[in-house]
Structures are given as C-alpha cells and as structure tokens.
Structure 1
Amino acid sequence: MKLLPTAITGAMVVEVDAHMDERGLFARTFCADVFGAHGLATHFPQCNTSQNPQRGTLRGLHYQAAPKEEAKLVRATRGRAFDVAVDLRPASDSYLQWVSVELDADRRNAFYIPAGCAHGFLTLSDDCEIFYMMSESHAPDLGRSVRWDDPAFSIDWPSPPLIMNERDAMCEDYKGVLP
C-alpha cells in the first residue's frame, strides 16, 4: 500500500497495490506497522458502514469533539463518493483548508482523516456504501457538525446535494473554535 500526503497535515490518501492471479485479487488495505511509521492512528475500536441508495446523497460535515476526537479511515466498498476533510485544528498549518478524494470501490482507495478534522461526503453513484474505521468509539454528546456549504471553507462540491437529513441541512457555520 502507498500513503500519499494531502494539503491537510496528517491526512493521507491510501492506495492499494492489488495482486492478481488465477484465484482473483488480493490487496492489503490496512497495516498498523505502516500507519504507525507515518504517525497515524493504528487502533480502530469501532467500524461503521453507511449505505446510500441514491447518487447525490450528502452526509456531513461531522466530527467528534475533545476529549474523544477521532481519526477516520474511510473507503467506498460499493460505488463512488466525493469525500472531504476540513481541518478544524487552530494550531495546524492547514487550518480551515479542505481536501477531497474520490473514493472508488473499484480502485479500493481510502482516505485517512486525522482527529480534529470534519468529514463529509457526497455520493457520485447510486447504491454507494462507505465503510469507516474510527479511532474512538462514538460519544453522542461529543458529536458535532458544521455546514457543508459554509463560506469559511468554500468547498468545491461537484454538484449540489439531492438528499441530506435535517441535521446536516440545519448545521450552523463554523465559529472558529472546537466546542
């Protein structure tokens, strides 16, 4: 596997080296030794999946506040998604910058999003499934959201969302500090 840095400090695109033979395909998608050598989280006590029937579904931008900030390793297990991370760490060199990765189940790529960053995605295909590995267990009282189209970030989404839940549609603008 290859870990490719992005414009956000600590965020990485994960590309796999697939090996094909008469049995089919084999690819390593996570290795604690490789992640640890790059200073990334290696412990993921919770995994989640999100099934999205329709193209244009938006989820995010979500993060978990201190003391349970979470890193995420995100991949599409079916379909494609425009996946976004926004750096909300005031001390970071990439504070308020965003980065996107097109996750594609056929490419088997992933996106590592460090703790302190908000995350969201827009599905680019029908029947899109996203699989998340989380470095912290869910703490509902620490869950936070910021508006997907907040002018503080100016994310260049590929299209307007067609579907989103009320929570994501009603998010407030980012106030400049992690609550």
Structure 2
Amino acid sequence: MIFTPSELEGVFFISLQPVGDSRGWFSRTYCKNEFAAIGHDKEWVQINHSFTSQKGTIRGMHYQLPPFREIKMVRCIAGAVLDVVIDLRENSPTFLQHTQLELSAENRQMIYIPEGFAHGFQCLQDNCELIYHHSAFYTPGAEGGIMYNDPLTGIEWPLAPTEISDRDRSHPLLNKNFKGI
C-alpha cells in the first residue's frame, strides 16, 4: 500500500499495490504495521458494506459526535464514487475545508478518514458498492450531519443529484455558531 497524505492533516489516500500473475491479482488492504506508521492505533470494530443503485445519488455528509467519534477507511468495490470529507475538528487550521478522491473498483483507491470529519459520496455510475471500516460502533443518537450542498463547505458535486434520503435532506446548514466537534 502507498499512503499519500492529503491537504487535510490525518486524511490519507491509499493506493493498493496488487501483485498479479496468470490467475489474477492479490492485494493487501490492511496491515497493522503499515497503518501504525501513519498513527493509526485503534481497532476496526465494525465493517459495513453499502450498495447504491443510481448514478448521481449522494449519501452524506455524516459524522459521529464525541465521545463516539470514529476513524473510517472507505473502499469502492463496484462502480465509482466521488468520496468527500470535511474537516470539522475544532480549532483545526483546515476547519470546514474539504478534500475529495474518486474511489472505484478500477482504481482500487481507499481513503483513510480520522476522527472529526464528516464523510459522504456521490455515485458516478449505477450500482456502486462500498466497504467501510469503523473504529467505533455506530451509536444512534450520536450521529450528526451537514447538508451536502452547504455553501460554507464549497463542495462541487460533479453530477446533478438524483437521490438523497429524507434524513440527508434534513441536515442543517452550518452557521457562524458552529465551532466543530
């Protein structure tokens, strides 16, 4: 794996390095020692798999509140998505800035998202599947969200949104009183 730091401290873009032969290929997606080198010292306690059928669908922007904040690692195993994270860390020099990365089955990229970030994605193709590793258990009542099109984040989605859940449509817009998590 090759870990490339993004412009947001703690967020890494991870390139898998498949080794192949006439049978196909093999690639490592996690190694405790390699992740320790970037400061990851938590256990993955939950692994989730999502399927989204329609191109243009947006899921996000989601986060968990303290003390249930979580680290995520996301990989697309079918289709392609634009994956986006927003820095919500209180007093961070990149507070409310975002970064993005295309994740696809073809490019085999992953994104490592530390605690204190909101996460979401838009499907660039039909029939997208993502695998998420989480360092904390999902805790109902400790979740938060930001509107996918909040003007304070400046996210430019590449496609017109086709599907957005009622929950994601109800996330609040940020205001000057939001100090982060």
TM-score band by shorter chain is: over 0.9
Contact 2:124 2:159 in 1 (8 A): no
Partner of 1:61: 61
AA at the equivalent of 1:14: I
Per the alignment, residue 47 of structure 1 pairs with 47
Rounded Cα–Cα distance in structure 2 between residues aligned with 1:92 and 1:98: 12
CA deviations over 1:123-153 (Å, ceiling 9, x no partner): 0010100110001000111011111111110
| Match of residue 149 from structure 2 | 149
Letter in 1 for 2:89: R
CA distance in 2, matches of 1:47, 1:177: 30
Summarize the Cα distance change of 1:97–1:111 in structure 2 as closer, same or farther, 3 Å threshold. same
Deviation at 1:42, TM superposition (A): 4.1
Q: Which amino acid aligns with 2:156?
A: D
Superposition deviation, residue 177 in structure 1: 2.6
CA distance in 1, matches of 2:145, 2:49: 19
TM-score (normalizing by structure 1): 0.96
Return the letter of the residue paired with 2:100: S
What's 2:106 paired with? 106
Deviates more, 1:125-134 or 1:39-48: 39-48
2:29: which partner in 1?
29
Partners of 1:173 and 1:41 in 2: CA distance: 33
For residue 141 of structure 2, give the secondary structure of its aligned residue in structure 1.
helix
8 A Cα contact 2:84 2:101, kept in partner: yes
Aligned to 2:172: 172
Q: Once superposed, which parts of structure 1, at least 4 consecutive aligned residues long, lie more than 6 Å away?
A: none
What is the CA–CA distance in structure 1 between the aligned matches of 2:11 and 2:143, rounded to whole Å? 20
| Aligned amino acid, residue 153 of structure 1 | T
Question: C-alpha separation between the residues in 2 aligned to 1:2 and 1:32?
Answer: 14
Q: Which residue matches 2:135?
A: 135
Kindly indicate whether residue 90 of structure 2 is the aligned counterpart of residue 90 of structure 1: yes
Q: CA deviation at 1:160?
A: 2.3
Flag structure 1 segments of 5+ consecutive residues without an equivalent: none
> Who is 1:5 aligned against?
5
Contact (CA 8 Å) 1:10, 1:113: kept in 2 or not?
yes
Partner of 1:14: 14
**Structure 2 alignment gaps of length 5 or more:** none
Change (3 A) 1:2 1:42: farther
Q: What letter corresponds to residue 147 of structure 1 in structure 2?
A: M
Tell me, in whole angstroms, the C-alpha distance in 1 between the residues paired with 2:107 and 2:122.
Answer: 18
Residue 41 of structure 1 deviates from its aligned partner by 4.6
Report percent identity of matched pairs: 36
Cα RMSD after superposing both structures: 1.2
* 1:41–1:135 CA contact under 8 A, matched in 2: no
